Amino acid sequence: MAVTGFLTDSTLCIGCKACEVACKEWNDVPDDGFVWSGLSYDNTLALGHSTYRHVKFVERQPQAGCGGNSAERMTWEFSSDVCKHCGNAGCLEACPTGSIVRTEFGSVFVQPDICNGCGYCVVSCPFGVIDRRPDDGRAFKCTFCYDRQKAGAEPACAKACPTGSILFGKLDELEAAADRRIAQLHEAGMNDATIWNPKETSVGGTHAFFIVRGDPRAYNLPRSPEVPTRLLKQSWSAAAVAASVMLAAAFAAFSLSQGNAGVPPAGPAASRRRGVR
Protein backbone atom coordinates (compact mmCIF):
# COMPACT_ATOMS: atom_id res chain seq x y z
CA MET A 1 0.00 0.00 0.00
CA ALA A 2 1.43 3.39 -0.99
CA VAL A 3 2.28 5.98 1.65
CA THR A 4 -0.12 8.87 1.24
CA GLY A 5 0.13 12.49 2.32
CA PHE A 6 -1.40 15.93 2.43
CA LEU A 7 0.15 18.92 0.70
CA THR A 8 -1.58 22.05 1.98
CA ASP A 9 -0.77 24.94 -0.32
CA SER A 10 -1.53 28.13 1.59
CA THR A 11 -1.06 30.28 -1.50
CA LEU A 12 -4.29 28.78 -2.83
CA CYS A 13 -6.29 28.90 0.39
CA ILE A 14 -9.18 31.39 0.50
CA GLY A 15 -10.05 30.81 4.16
CA CYS A 16 -13.51 29.39 3.44
CA LYS A 17 -13.23 26.70 6.17
CA ALA A 18 -14.96 24.10 3.98
CA CYS A 19 -12.26 21.66 5.17
CA GLU A 20 -13.25 22.26 8.81
CA VAL A 21 -16.92 21.71 7.99
CA ALA A 22 -16.32 18.63 5.83
CA CYS A 23 -14.10 17.09 8.52
CA LYS A 24 -16.61 17.72 11.28
CA GLU A 25 -19.42 16.24 9.21
CA TRP A 26 -17.67 13.13 7.98
CA ASN A 27 -15.97 12.31 11.28
CA ASP A 28 -18.93 13.36 13.44
CA VAL A 29 -16.73 15.63 15.57
CA PRO A 30 -18.47 17.60 18.37
CA ASP A 31 -18.40 21.39 18.57
CA ASP A 32 -15.21 23.03 19.82
CA GLY A 33 -16.72 25.97 21.66
CA PHE A 34 -18.59 29.08 20.50
CA VAL A 35 -16.15 31.94 20.95
CA TRP A 36 -15.21 35.14 19.17
CA SER A 37 -11.45 35.32 19.43
CA GLY A 38 -10.82 38.75 17.90
CA LEU A 39 -7.81 37.23 16.12
CA SER A 40 -8.57 38.01 12.49
CA TYR A 41 -11.29 35.66 11.21
CA ASP A 42 -10.05 32.73 13.27
CA ASN A 43 -12.55 31.59 15.89
CA THR A 44 -11.27 28.01 15.88
CA LEU A 45 -7.82 28.99 17.24
CA ALA A 46 -6.07 25.62 17.38
CA LEU A 47 -6.18 21.97 16.47
CA GLY A 48 -7.45 19.84 19.31
CA HIS A 49 -9.62 16.99 20.50
CA SER A 50 -12.56 18.30 18.50
CA THR A 51 -10.76 20.15 15.70
CA TYR A 52 -8.90 18.08 13.12
CA ARG A 53 -8.64 20.84 10.48
CA HIS A 54 -8.01 24.45 11.46
CA VAL A 55 -7.79 27.41 9.07
CA LYS A 56 -5.28 29.99 10.29
CA PHE A 57 -5.68 33.66 9.34
CA VAL A 58 -2.34 35.42 9.38
CA GLU A 59 -2.57 39.20 9.11
CA ARG A 60 0.77 40.94 8.74
CA GLN A 61 2.92 43.47 6.96
CA PRO A 62 3.89 42.33 3.48
CA GLN A 63 7.17 42.00 1.66
CA ALA A 64 7.07 44.69 -0.99
CA GLY A 65 6.37 43.55 -4.50
CA CYS A 66 5.30 40.01 -3.72
CA GLY A 67 2.38 38.53 -5.59
CA GLY A 68 0.70 41.82 -6.38
CA ASN A 69 0.62 43.13 -2.81
CA SER A 70 1.85 46.67 -2.56
CA ALA A 71 3.80 47.74 0.49
CA GLU A 72 1.03 50.04 1.72
CA ARG A 73 -1.39 47.19 2.30
CA MET A 74 -1.19 44.40 4.81
CA THR A 75 -1.29 40.79 3.69
CA TRP A 76 -3.90 38.32 4.75
CA GLU A 77 -2.79 34.73 4.50
CA PHE A 78 -4.85 31.61 5.11
CA SER A 79 -3.55 28.15 5.86
CA SER A 80 -5.42 25.01 6.77
CA ASP A 81 -3.56 23.22 9.56
CA VAL A 82 -3.86 19.50 10.28
CA CYS A 83 -2.12 16.67 12.16
CA LYS A 84 1.34 16.36 10.62
CA HIS A 85 1.39 12.52 10.67
CA CYS A 86 5.08 12.66 11.61
CA GLY A 87 7.71 10.29 10.30
CA ASN A 88 8.73 9.77 13.95
CA ALA A 89 5.50 10.46 15.80
CA GLY A 90 5.80 11.50 19.46
CA CYS A 91 2.22 10.46 20.28
CA LEU A 92 2.68 7.02 18.76
CA GLU A 93 5.92 6.36 20.63
CA ALA A 94 4.45 7.56 23.92
CA CYS A 95 1.16 5.62 23.80
CA PRO A 96 1.39 2.90 26.51
CA THR A 97 -1.64 0.92 25.32
CA GLY A 98 -0.70 0.52 21.67
CA SER A 99 -3.86 2.41 20.79
CA ILE A 100 -1.94 4.73 18.46
CA VAL A 101 -0.63 2.87 15.44
CA ARG A 102 0.94 3.54 12.03
CA THR A 103 -1.49 2.51 9.30
CA GLU A 104 -0.76 0.89 5.94
CA PHE A 105 -1.03 4.41 4.44
CA GLY A 106 1.81 5.67 6.65
CA SER A 107 -0.56 7.80 8.73
CA VAL A 108 -0.79 7.90 12.53
CA PHE A 109 -4.13 6.59 13.80
CA VAL A 110 -5.71 6.46 17.28
CA GLN A 111 -7.80 3.30 17.75
CA PRO A 112 -10.74 4.58 19.80
CA ASP A 113 -11.61 1.13 21.14
CA ILE A 114 -8.18 0.80 22.81
CA CYS A 115 -7.39 4.31 24.13
CA ASN A 116 -7.85 4.60 27.90
CA GLY A 117 -7.24 8.32 28.08
CA CYS A 118 -3.91 8.33 29.97
CA GLY A 119 -3.01 11.67 28.37
CA TYR A 120 0.65 10.89 27.69
CA CYS A 121 0.28 11.47 23.92
CA VAL A 122 -0.97 15.00 24.71
CA VAL A 123 2.38 16.06 26.18
CA SER A 124 4.36 14.10 23.59
CA CYS A 125 3.13 15.84 20.44
CA PRO A 126 5.56 18.60 19.35
CA PHE A 127 2.74 20.36 17.48
CA GLY A 128 -0.05 20.39 20.07
CA VAL A 129 -2.35 18.35 17.83
CA ILE A 130 -3.74 15.51 19.93
CA ASP A 131 -5.81 16.19 23.05
CA ARG A 132 -8.15 14.42 25.45
CA ARG A 133 -11.86 15.12 24.95
CA PRO A 134 -13.10 15.96 28.47
CA ASP A 135 -16.62 14.54 28.20
CA ASP A 136 -15.44 11.41 26.41
CA GLY A 137 -12.17 10.72 28.23
CA ARG A 138 -10.23 9.49 25.20
CA ALA A 139 -7.66 11.22 23.01
CA PHE A 140 -8.63 12.35 19.52
CA LYS A 141 -6.95 13.82 16.47
CA CYS A 142 -7.09 13.73 12.67
CA THR A 143 -7.68 10.15 11.48
CA PHE A 144 -6.39 11.00 8.00
CA CYS A 145 -9.84 9.64 7.09
CA TYR A 146 -8.55 6.11 7.56
CA ASP A 147 -12.06 4.78 6.91
CA ARG A 148 -12.37 6.67 3.62
CA GLN A 149 -8.84 5.75 2.52
CA LYS A 150 -9.59 2.08 3.15
CA ALA A 151 -12.57 2.46 0.85
CA GLY A 152 -10.35 4.03 -1.79
CA ALA A 153 -11.63 7.57 -1.28
CA GLU A 154 -9.68 10.72 -0.49
CA PRO A 155 -10.00 12.42 2.92
CA ALA A 156 -13.09 14.58 3.42
CA CYS A 157 -11.18 17.89 3.73
CA ALA A 158 -9.24 17.36 0.49
CA LYS A 159 -12.42 16.42 -1.34
CA ALA A 160 -14.32 19.48 -0.07
CA CYS A 161 -11.53 22.02 -0.72
CA PRO A 162 -12.80 24.27 -3.55
CA THR A 163 -9.43 25.70 -4.63
CA GLY A 164 -7.08 22.73 -4.62
CA SER A 165 -5.26 24.14 -1.61
CA ILE A 166 -5.49 20.74 0.12
CA LEU A 167 -3.92 18.11 -2.10
CA PHE A 168 -4.09 14.42 -1.25
CA GLY A 169 -2.00 11.78 -2.95
CA LYS A 170 1.06 9.58 -2.81
CA LEU A 171 3.66 11.22 -0.56
CA ASP A 172 6.56 11.09 -3.02
CA GLU A 173 4.40 12.52 -5.81
CA LEU A 174 3.21 15.34 -3.55
CA GLU A 175 6.79 16.19 -2.60
CA ALA A 176 7.69 16.50 -6.27
CA ALA A 177 4.56 18.58 -6.85
CA ALA A 178 5.53 20.90 -3.99
CA ASP A 179 8.96 21.50 -5.54
CA ARG A 180 7.37 22.33 -8.89
CA ARG A 181 4.86 24.65 -7.21
CA ILE A 182 7.58 26.54 -5.33
CA ALA A 183 9.56 27.04 -8.56
CA GLN A 184 6.38 28.33 -10.19
CA LEU A 185 5.65 30.72 -7.30
CA HIS A 186 9.20 32.07 -7.23
CA GLU A 187 9.04 32.60 -10.98
CA ALA A 188 5.87 34.61 -10.45
CA GLY A 189 7.73 36.82 -7.99
CA MET A 190 6.34 35.29 -4.77
CA ASN A 191 9.85 34.81 -3.40
CA ASP A 192 8.80 34.35 0.22
CA ALA A 193 6.93 31.11 -0.52
CA THR A 194 8.58 28.14 1.21
CA ILE A 195 7.95 24.47 1.93
CA TRP A 196 7.61 23.54 5.61
CA ASN A 197 8.56 19.91 6.16
CA PRO A 198 11.00 19.26 9.05
CA LYS A 199 12.99 16.48 7.40
CA GLU A 200 16.30 17.44 8.98
CA THR A 201 15.02 17.24 12.59
CA SER A 202 14.33 14.17 14.75
CA VAL A 203 10.69 14.32 13.56
CA GLY A 204 12.04 12.91 10.31
CA GLY A 205 9.69 14.71 7.96
CA THR A 206 5.92 14.83 8.04
CA HIS A 207 3.26 13.19 5.90
CA ALA A 208 1.22 16.39 5.99
CA PHE A 209 3.36 19.30 4.86
CA PHE A 210 2.77 22.88 3.84
CA ILE A 211 3.57 25.64 1.39
CA VAL A 212 3.40 28.97 3.24
CA ARG A 213 4.47 32.52 2.53
CA GLY A 214 6.95 34.20 4.84
CA ASP A 215 8.29 32.76 8.06
CA PRO A 216 6.49 29.49 8.96
CA ARG A 217 6.73 30.49 12.63
CA ALA A 218 3.97 33.04 12.00
CA TYR A 219 1.75 29.97 11.50
CA ASN A 220 3.05 28.33 14.71
CA LEU A 221 5.07 25.91 12.58
CA PRO A 222 8.36 25.59 14.55
CA ARG A 223 11.64 25.59 12.64
CA SER A 224 13.15 22.69 14.55
CA PRO A 225 10.42 20.51 16.08
CA GLU A 226 11.82 17.47 17.90
CA VAL A 227 10.28 14.12 18.80
CA PRO A 228 10.50 13.65 22.61
CA THR A 229 11.98 10.14 22.30
CA ARG A 230 15.30 11.81 21.42
CA LEU A 231 15.53 12.71 25.14
CA LEU A 232 15.07 9.12 26.37
CA LYS A 233 18.75 8.20 26.36
CA GLN A 234 19.95 11.12 28.46
CA SER A 235 16.98 10.93 30.81
CA TRP A 236 17.20 7.18 31.44
CA SER A 237 20.98 7.53 31.90
CA ALA A 238 20.34 10.10 34.62
CA ALA A 239 17.73 7.81 36.16
CA ALA A 240 20.22 4.92 36.15
CA VAL A 241 22.82 7.07 37.90
CA ALA A 242 20.25 8.28 40.45
CA ALA A 243 19.05 4.72 41.08
CA SER A 244 22.58 3.36 41.53
CA VAL A 245 23.56 6.17 43.87
CA MET A 246 20.39 5.66 45.91
CA LEU A 247 21.03 1.93 46.31
CA ALA A 248 24.70 2.46 47.16
CA ALA A 249 23.95 5.31 49.58
CA ALA A 250 21.26 3.31 51.38
CA PHE A 251 23.53 0.28 51.84
CA ALA A 252 26.49 2.42 52.86
CA ALA A 253 24.48 4.47 55.34
CA PHE A 254 22.97 1.42 57.04
CA SER A 255 26.14 -0.69 57.01
CA LEU A 256 28.32 2.08 58.40
CA SER A 257 25.95 3.39 61.05
CA GLN A 258 24.51 0.21 62.50
CA GLY A 259 24.49 0.12 66.24
CA ASN A 260 23.10 3.59 66.75
CA ALA A 261 19.48 2.59 66.45
CA GLY A 262 17.07 3.96 69.00
CA VAL A 263 14.78 0.94 68.73
CA PRO A 264 16.04 -2.21 70.43
CA PRO A 265 17.41 -4.75 67.96
CA ALA A 266 15.21 -7.75 67.21
CA GLY A 267 17.27 -9.86 64.79
CA PRO A 268 20.27 -11.95 65.82
CA ALA A 269 22.41 -10.25 63.15
CA ALA A 270 21.87 -6.86 64.76
CA SER A 271 22.87 -8.00 68.25
CA ARG A 272 25.93 -9.74 66.88
CA ARG A 273 27.11 -6.54 65.24
CA ARG A 274 26.39 -4.58 68.36
CA GLY A 275 28.44 -7.02 70.34
CA VAL A 276 31.44 -6.52 68.07
CA ARG A 277 31.33 -2.79 68.64
Partner 1 sequence: MKPPRVPDNATEKRLDDIREQAALGHLDAKGVRPSGSPFPEADAEHGYYGLPIVKAPVWTWEVPVYFFVGGAAGASSVLALAAQLSGAPHALVRDARWIAAIGAAASGPLLILDLGRPERFLNMLRVFKPQSPMSVGAWTLSLFGTASAAAAIGEELGLKRIGDAAAFVAALSGVVMATYTGVLLGATAIPVWAAHARTLPIHFGASALASATAVLELRGHDARALNVLGLAAAIVETSMGVEIESDKSVTSEPLRYGATGTTIRIGGFFSGPLPLALRLLGIRSKRARRAAAASALLGSLITRLGWIEAGKASAKDPRPLLD
In whole angstroms, the minimum distance from the beta carbon of 200 to partner 1 comes to: 15
Query: Interacting stretch for partner 1, rule CB under 8 A, among 18-26, 110-118, 159-167, 178-186?
Result: 110-118
Site string for partner 1, 5-24 (x = CB under 8 A): --------------------
Nearer to partner 1, 89 or 156 (CB): 89
86 φ, ψ (degrees, to nearest 5): -60, 150
**Please, what's the b/e burial string for 178-205 (b: 16 or more CB within 10 A of its CB; e: otherwise)?**
beebbeebeeeebebbbbbbbeebbbeb
- Neighbouring CB atoms inside 10 A of 2's CB total 12
Say whether residue 74 binds partner 1 (CB under 8 A).
no
CA distance 121 to 42: 26
Which of 131, 148, 154, 211 binds partner 1 (CB under 8 A)? It is 131
What pairing do the DSSP bridges indicate for beta strands 208-213 and 4-9? parallel
Contact set for partner 1, span 242-271 (CB under 8 A): 242-243, 245-247, 249-251, 253-258, 260-267, 269-270
Q: What single letter denotes the amino acid at residue 58?
A: V
Q: Applying CB under 8 A, does 33 fall inside the site for partner 1?
A: no
Q: Does 125 bind partner 1 (CB under 8 A)?
A: yes
CA distance 84 to 158: 15
When the beta carbons of 130 and 171 are compared against partner 1, the nearer one is 130
Q: What is the DSSP string of 121-134?
A: TTTT-TTS--EE-T
Kindly tell me which residue out of 69, 117, 169, 175 binds partner 1, with binding defined by CB under 8 A: 117
In whole angstroms, what is the distance from residue 96 CA to residue 101 CA? Answer: 11
Burial class of residue 224 in the structure, from the number of CB atoms within 10 Å of its CB (0-12 exposed, 13-18 middle, 19+ buried): exposed
Binding of partner 1 by 272 (CB under 8 A): yes
CB of 96 to partner 1, least distance (A): 4
Kindly state whether residue 118 participates in binding partner 1, applying the rule CB under 8 A.
yes
User: Which window, 14-22, 130-138, 174-182, 185-193, contacts partner 1 (CB under 8 A)?
Assistant: 130-138
The residue from 23, 139, 157, 158 that contacts partner 1 (CB under 8 A) is 139
Q: Using the rule CB under 8 A, is 89 a contact of partner 1?
A: no
**What CA–CA distance (Å, rounded) separates 176 from 126?**
26
Per CB under 8 A, which of residues 152..181 are in contact with partner 1? none
Residues 117-156: b if buried by 16+ CB within 10 A, e if exposed: beebbbebbbbebbbbbeeeebbbbbbbbbebbeeeebbb
**Contact by Cβ (8 Å): 12, 184:** no
Residue 99 near partner 1 by CB under 8 A = yes
Binding partner 1 (rule: CB under 8 A), the pick from 67, 93, 177, 192 is: 93
For partner 1, the binding residue among 176, 183, 188, 231 (CB under 8 A) is: 231
